[in-house]
Structure 1
Amino acid sequence: MIKTCIEILIFTVSISAQSLIEQIGWKGADAGIIAGLIITLFCGLGFLLGFYLKSQAKLKADQKELDSNLFNHYCEKTEINDVEIARLLELLKNEMSIQPHIIFQSITLFERCIDTEVKRLSGSGLTQEQIDQEDSLLSSIRKKLGYSYLPLEHPLVSTRNLEIGLRLSVFGKDNQIPVIHKARVVHNSEFFFRIQYDSDSEEFSRFEQGQSLKLGFSRQNDGVYGIPVTVLRMEDLSSVDLCHSLDLRRNQLRQYVRVDVSLPLRFRLVKTENEENEALYLGKLLKTQMSDLSGGGLSFNYEKPMVPGDLISMSFQLSDSAFAGISGKVLRVSIKEGKTETFYRHHIQFINIEQRNRDKIIKYVFEKQRQASQWR
């Protein structure tokens, strides 16, 4: 409203004095009156502009205070100590995050911050003892924020998420055939991870520091991964230390075809282990827009995050078919940051859905695919 008024005044002032006088019928008016009118317009413009800037400053101050309170709340909830809080604030400087408390909710943001910090520390000439201390501190923060282990239904974000014991194959940079067929992760820290293999059964030459490799593996209920990595060091013929990477190439193991949609969706939170969400949302009817849909589930954006494992009940309309009371489980939640707001993408799996309802959804999805192909 205020911005609109300012735009109107700017337009009005931009009209020449002579044109303005002709429009209001004051042709021949005293120069003092004209000057007074122009000064009044400028004063009004200055007042509204000042009021607008002041209100914006207050909004920013209020938002900053809210963000600070939320950050402190999560610090208390996760029981991180003062040293860890200070380190976490330093990590956040590596990313231009609008709201610092989001690092407690977004593993993607956390991994980006960690990766940038580790690269900085690795090039700062630290002693091995200092590196070990930093690794211990960062690992403690990771554990308290709940990022030490990712459930199988949540895609990996970084090689720091690789489980100990994970079996994988190693390829040369441009090779389609593995140079190491069977290897497994035996160590994973913030600064590097180590894979081990049977050197007697594998035919390959020694890896060199800085050499580019690719790792390939599949993860149950998730997908097939290909990850370009760089050799950090190789101290014996049965293991190699690798630098961490955020460049994870993933092909999802998807049973059902998925299409992008934008449809109204209503849902209720029916079960959660999160006390805050239970108090705020349990049983309440919430409204949003569906983002995509398949025979196995859907996704939607919402301003507040649910928690993986939460159970919801959904209602939506597809063409002539109405769906009500469709049960779903939150598989994972990813954060989406805009210029002025943050929202959360919720990935939902249908549970105990009747086959006739699933068939209707699959039919709708294929029809959407057919329509989309006609426009290509």
Structure 2
Amino acid sequence: MNSSSSTTTTTTTTTTTPNSNLSIWSLSYYFNLWNKQFTEPDSSEETRKTVLRLTERFGETHPTFRMSSYNEAVSFAKSKFKFLMVYIHSSQHPSSHSFCKEVLFTREFKEFIEANYIFWVCDVSTSIGLRMCNLLEVTTFPALSLICCNNVPGLTTSSQPVRLELFQGNQLSTKQSAMTIIRTSVSHYEPSLVAAKADHDLREQDRFIRQEQDEAFYQSLKEDQEKERIRLEKEEQERLKREREEKEEQDRINFQTELEERKQRKQKLFINEPKQKQPNGVDITKLVIRLHDGSKLQRNFLITDTIEFVMDFIDTHIQEPIENYVLSTHYPKKQYSDLKSTLKDEGLYPDSVLFLSEL
């Protein structure tokens, strides 16, 4: 009799004093923080361990749990435009055990949740679980909270996640009651979320179209710039070619002019041809010069005249620059490259035949 009474008392205490348990857990949480030098545990790792403990105890048939931190679960639900369902578990609360066994870890509830929601779980014994209890104002277990993660006109006033509903305790006592109350509550909010998603999709479509248009514009602009670059480069090449040709032509004209002026200056040196021995006793020599084109020149020179003087005479009769030629004899073969040497020094008297050849 006393044993039965003790059991009843213990059960009553466990199921009716959640706030006392929360206080104990709060003290435990802050004590753990002190022991860990105030370093927060990794919430993703806490979630992973919570899921592992639940699946080891209740099996693998359950809604897909987001194996991440709460903030990451919120971001994921937001990206999918779905409600986030948060389950807070308490291993010390008997109703949590029956909820997991009879509701959460069943095929029907799994299919119901996965068709409509993103599901995330935490344990009140962990730091993130305790914070979620305080944030969602949980008073008993089991506890399910419906979170809107998107900015939905009429439901939220900012981009922060908002708790729309909190289902806890006896509301989740059976699978049917849990699914019914969730479905009924969501039917009130879902049209607003659907409308917000439609607006979002329309904006995204417009943004995508604008992005495509911008990309097409920038691609066209890039192609036009490339064409303009090629055109300018071609014009620059043509300009440089034209300037080069003009310079070459001007250089040629200047060279021809200089060559002609030089020949005219030299021609004055050959106006008077010596015909006989000079009064000062200097003899003359008769030179016959065969040019490279087969023609020939003939003239009398003083034996004191230099090879350079003979070349100057030839220069007045040919079109090409004389610097490209040399005088020579056929036999014996000899080239006269010393321009300062006299005809007498080279033995080119009283007469001689010379040949003009290219260097």
The bucket for the TM-score relative to the shorter chain is: under 0.3
Greater strand percent: which structure? 1
Greater helix percent: which structure? 2
Given the two structures, how large is their TM-score scaled by the length of structure 1? 0.18
Given the two structures, how large is their TM-score scaled by the length of structure 2? 0.19
Higher relative contact order (CA 8 A, sep 6+): 2
The structure number with the bigger radius of gyration is 2
